[in-house]
Amino acid sequence: MTRSLERPSVPLSVVSPPPSVRWLAVFALAVGSFAIGTTEFVAMGLLPDIASSLNITEPIAGHVISAYALGVVVGAPVIASLTARMPRKTLLLGLIALFTLGNLASVLAPTYDTLIAARFISGIPHGAFFGVAALVAAHLMGPKNRAKAVAHVMSGLTIATVLGVPLASFLGQHFGWRTAFGLVVVIGAATLTAIWYWLPDLRSMHVTSPLTELSALRRPQVWLALLIGMVGFGGMFAVYTYVATTLTDVSGLSRALVPLGLMMFGLGMVVGNLAGGKMADISVIKGLYASITALGVVLALFVWAAHNPWTAMLGLFLIGASGSAIAPALQTRLMDVAHGAQTLAAALNHSALNIANAAGAWIGGLVIAAGYGYTAPAASGAALAAAGLVVLTISVLLQRWTERSRAN
C-alpha cells in the first residue's frame, strides 16, 4: 500500500498534559463507553424475557434492538453537525445526560410501543458520543497513537460485553429485564461524574462549523468507508442478536449458561479491539482487510460450530474478536478521509455500525422466520463480510486512481 493511503489528512493538534490527566480523561470516556456498550448489547440476551413480558414474539422483540440502532443512525449526524461549535466537554456531558434519561425511560416503559420510543431516544447520543470521545482521546494522546487512543475509548464497550452485559443479563433474568436497564442508569450517572471531574476543558481543541462538518458528505471515500461498516460489520450482529436461543436450541446449553456465552463473546471483543487498534496504527488498510476477512471465515465456520457447546463458545469468542477489530481501523480511516470534517465522520462511523446492527438483526430474523434455523444468520453474516471486502477494495482502487490522476 502506498503511504498516502495510511497518512492522516489533517494533523491533530499535539498537546502535552500530564500523563495522569490524559489517562483519567480517557478512563472517564471509557466509562461512558462501558455504559453504552452495556445497554446496546444486553437487550440481545434478554429478547426472550422482553418478548414474554410484553406478549410478543422474539423476532418482533428484536425491533427493540433495531429501534436503538436507528436512534444512533439519526442522532449521530444531526448532533455532530449542529453542535460543531460547542465545547467538547459540555457536549459530552449533554450526550451522557440524554443517554441516561433514555435508559430511565426504558426502565419505566409500560408497553412495547413506549419501549421502542425509549430505546430510540437512548440511541440518539450514542454515535455522537463515540465520535467526539474518539477525537478527544486522539487529541490528548497525539497523532502517533490515534488508533490506540480510539481503542482505549472503545475498550469500555468491549469490557461491557464481558462484565456489564453478563451482569445486566443476570439481573434481567432473575429480577426482570427492566433491572438490566436500571443498571445502565447507574453507570450513566457515574459517567457524568467522571467526565465532569476528570476531563480537561480542552480549550485548545479545534472546533469547526456545521457547514464544515457537513462537507464530509461530499467525499466519496467517506461514503465508501461508511458502507464498509454497514455491510461488513452486519454479520456479527446477525449472530449475536439471536445468541440466546442459538445457544439453548442449537448448542444444547441451559438458559443459565447463556451469560457465559455472552462473556466469551465479550472477551473476544476486548482482545480484538486492542489488537485492531495496534494493527491500524501500523496500517489502516491492512488492518481492515485482515479483520473483515477473519470475521467472514469465522462466521462461516460457526454454522458448524454452533452445534457443539464447546465449539460454539470458541466461535463466539472469535466472532467477537474479529468483529471488534474492525472498529478502530474503520474509525481511523474515516478520520483520514474526512479532512476538516472529522467530528461528523467519526460520529457517522457509529451510524454505519448501527445500520449494520439493525440490518444484521433484520436479516437474521428473516432467515430464521423463513425456516432456515438459528445457524442461518451466521451464513448470511459470512456473505455480508465478503461484500464488505468488495467495498473496501473499491475504496482502495478509487483512492489510488485519484492519486495517480492528481500526480499526472
User: How much is the mean pLDDT over the chain?
Assistant: 86
In a domain, 173, yes or no: yes
Q: What is the pLDDT of residue 16?
A: 57
**Rg for the chain, CA atoms, rounded:** 20
Q: What is the pLDDT of residue 11?
A: 41
Mean pLDDT, residues 199-223: 76
Mean pLDDT, residues 173-182: 92
pLDDT score of 184 more than 60: yes
Expressed as residue numbers, the domain containing 214 is 15-407
What are 247-273's pLDDT values in tens digits? Answer: 999 999 888 888 788 889 889 988 998
Q: What is the pLDDT of residue 115?
A: 95
What are 62-91's pLDDT values in tens digits? Answer: 888 888 878 888 888 888 888 878 888 999
pLDDT band (50, 70, 90) for residue 10: very low
In a domain, 230, yes or no: yes
Where residue 17 falls (left for φ over 0; alpha for ψ -120 to 50; beta otherwise) is: beta
The answer to whether residues 389 and 289 touch, using CB atoms and an 8 Å cutoff, is yes
| Residue 206, domain CATH | 1.20.1250.20
Mean pLDDT, residues 3-32: 66
- The end-to-end CA distance of the chain, in Å, is 19
What are 273-317's pLDDT values in tens digits? Answer: 889 888 888 888 999 999 999 999 999 999 999 999 999 999 999
Percent of the chain scored above 90 by pLDDT?
A: 38
In a domain, 130, yes or no: yes
In a domain, 8, yes or no: no
The answer to whether residues 184 and 11 touch, using CB atoms and an 8 Å cutoff, is no
In a domain, 4, yes or no: no
* CB neighbour class for 142 (10 Å; exposed up to 12, middle 13-18, buried from 19): middle
Q: To the nearest 10°, report the CA torsion of 274, 277, 278, 283.
A: 150
In a domain, 2, yes or no: no
Number of independent structural domains in the chain: 1
CB half-sphere exposure, 408, CA atoms < 13 A:
6
Q: What is the pLDDT of residue 206?
A: 65
pLDDT band (50, 70, 90) for residue 351: confident
pLDDT score of 15 more than 60: no
Of 64, 69, 58, 113, the closest CA to residue 365 belongs to 58
In a domain, 3, yes or no: no
Q: What backbone phi and psi angles, to 5 degrees, belong to 124? A: -55, -45
Residues 303 and 121: their CA atoms lie apart, in Å, by 35
pLDDT score of 207 more than 70: no
For the beta carbon of residue 379, count every other beta carbon within 10 angstroms. Answer: 18
What are 85-124's pLDDT values in tens digits? Answer: 888 899 999 999 999 999 999 999 999 999 999 999 999 9
Q: What is the pLDDT of residue 204?
A: 66
In a domain, 9, yes or no: no
